[in-house]
Amino acid sequence: MNICIPKERRPFEYRVGLSPMGVEILIQNGHTVFIEHDAGQGAGFADKEYDKVGAKIAYAVDEIYGRAELLLKIARPLDDELDMLQPGTTIAGLLHLASAKQNKIDALLKDKITAIAYEQIEEADGSLPVLRPFSQIGGAMAAEVASRLMQSDHGGRGVLLGGLPGIPPAEVVIIGAGISGTYAARAFKGLGAHVTVLDKGLNALQRISQYDSNFVTMLSTPRNIARVCEYADVLVGAVLVPGARSPIIITREMVKKMKHRSVFIDISIDQGGCSETSRPTTHEHPSYVEENVVHYCVPNMPSVVARTATYGFVNAAIAYILEIANLGVDKAIENPAIEAGVNTYKGELRHLSRLKNKE
């Protein structure tokens, strides 16, 4: 199979669709891998590293999209990238089509593109193995981001997360006790903050309490969310519904009642965001102020730790990529885990809900 890896063209996307190690595994299994010139540069992988394991370096983007039977990306393709896709191609990536514009989905359906969303690959136990490393990174980074945005020179309240003797630590509230929420809770706790975690599922709250009994846990209800918003110095939205747009659980009225210059980090923004006041930002201009609250809504948070993110991704995804390459798409999607990630297939829409879910 011809497997092609393009250079990511979305602004501030530094990750790459496969590391040299991943490419080597595919080539050892008899596949031909083409990678665009400098595709790995943002993650610290030089062309010579790919050449050394047997990849073919392509200097024309048309060659990458023209040869691809399986195209391995990270970010959702831009309009011009969709135009270059050949009919019948299979594309795999962090597609987040539930929050995409309709024209992108229409283009995939029109050209009978098979689109496999890594973030929706789901094992029988409900785990999302390929999304997991990105969720871990996003959660861990939330504490770093909050620490910076709380500084006075970044427009924050001037509060040190861990406090000092005689001065209470910051109040951090995390909505969602999944992977991102758990890693965020651990990171904030490590910096000395007082952490409250909300989730709809009691089992999730029990899991996080077993990790650290000092976490305050609450069921995620509209009343409880409204209560915690009023006292939070930092609010983190870590809400995920696989294959669907993130539910809007934080209203503008709730944000209005937050402390002035408090910080809201919406990790859910790649799936549309979980607040009425959320809108996507970039690593160049990551934050804005809405209702006197500093908002951070960068969809591709892990991109700026591109090397770690790419290694973590390849570790999680290579088995599924290899299965698709070795068996072909039609046979590979008989695996229920991979089939759960299929968004479009030969002109049909699958496993994709674009409705706004309610709490």
Please confirm, yes or no, whether 96 is among the known catalytic residues.
yes
In the set 96, 194, 295, 351, the catalytic residue is: 96
Residue 20 scores a pLDDT above 70: yes
Paired sense of beta strands 348-349 and 342-345, if any: antiparallel
CA quadruple 136, 138, 139, 143: dihedral sign: positive
Residue 154 falls in the annotated catalytic set: no
Amino acid 124 reads A
- Structure token pair of residue 122: 């789901």
Question: Does the pLDDT of residue 312 top 90, yes or no?
Answer: yes
Residue 354: the pLDDT is: 55
- Give, for 194, the enclosing helix (H) or strand (E): strand 194-199
Buried b (16+ CB within 10 A) or exposed e, 25-43: bbbeeebebbbbeebbebb
pLDDT of 246 over the 60 cut: yes
* 109 occurs within a structural domain: yes
Quick check: is 358 in a domain? no
**Quick check: 39 pLDDT over 60?**
yes
Q: Are residues 83 and 16 in the same domain?
A: yes
Q: In the prediction, which pLDDT does 314 show?
A: 97
Edge-first strand listing for the sheet containing 234-237: 216-219, 194-199, 171-175, 234-237, 263-266, 293-296, 287-290
The two tokens of residue 124 are 């029988």
State whether 289 and 250 are in the same domain. yes
- Look at residue 357 and tell me whether its pLDDT is greater than 60: no
Looking at residue 55, what DSSP letter applies? P
The answer to whether position 357 is within a domain reads no
Distance between CA atoms of 299 and 273, rounded to whole angstroms? 9
**For the packed helices 132-149 and 179-190, what is the interaxial angle rounded to 10 degrees?**
40
Residue 125 lies in a domain: no
Amino acid at site 94: L
Which among 79, 36, 22, 77 is positioned nearest to 317, based on CA atoms?
Answer: 22
Asked if 178 and 268 sit in the same domain, the reply is yes
pLDDT of 358 higher than 70: no
**pLDDT score at 153:** 95
- Half-sphere CA count of 356, side-chain side, radius 13 A: 7
Helices (H), 328-358: 329-332, 336-339
Same domain membership, residue 210 and residue 194: yes
The two tokens of residue 285 are 């201009």
Q: Is residue 283 part of a domain?
A: yes
Residue 56 belongs to a domain with what CATH number?
3.40.50.720
Same domain, 260 and 341: no
* 159/278 same-domain check: yes
DSSP 3-state of 153:
helix
Whether residues 189 and 274 share a domain: the answer is yes
Distance CA 328, CA 139 (A): 34
Last residue of a domain, one of 261, 276, 299: 299
Across 230-346, where does the E strand assignment appear? 234-237, 244-245, 263-266, 287-290, 293-296, 342-345
On whether both 94 and 195 belong to a single domain, the answer is no
Task: Return all residues near 248 (Cβ < 8 A) that are at least 6 apart.
Answer: 273, 274, 275, 276, 356, 358
Number of separate domains in the chain: 2
- Domain boundary residue, one of 279, 299, 319: 299
Q: Are residues 284 and 323 in the same domain?
A: no
Q: Which tokens in the block code for residue 283?
A: 């690593």
The helix/strand/coil state of 272 is coil
Q: Which structural domain range is residue 25 located in?
A: 2-120+306-346
Query: Does residue 137 surpass a pLDDT of 80?
Result: yes
Amino acid at 329: V
273 and 157 in one domain? yes
Catalytic residue among 194, 233, 270, 295: 270
Give the least confident one: 55-69, 90-104, 107-121, 195-209.
90-104
199 and 284 inside one domain: yes
Residues 272 and 156 in one domain: yes
Strands 293-296, 194-199: pairing kind: unpaired
Residue 126 lies in a domain: no
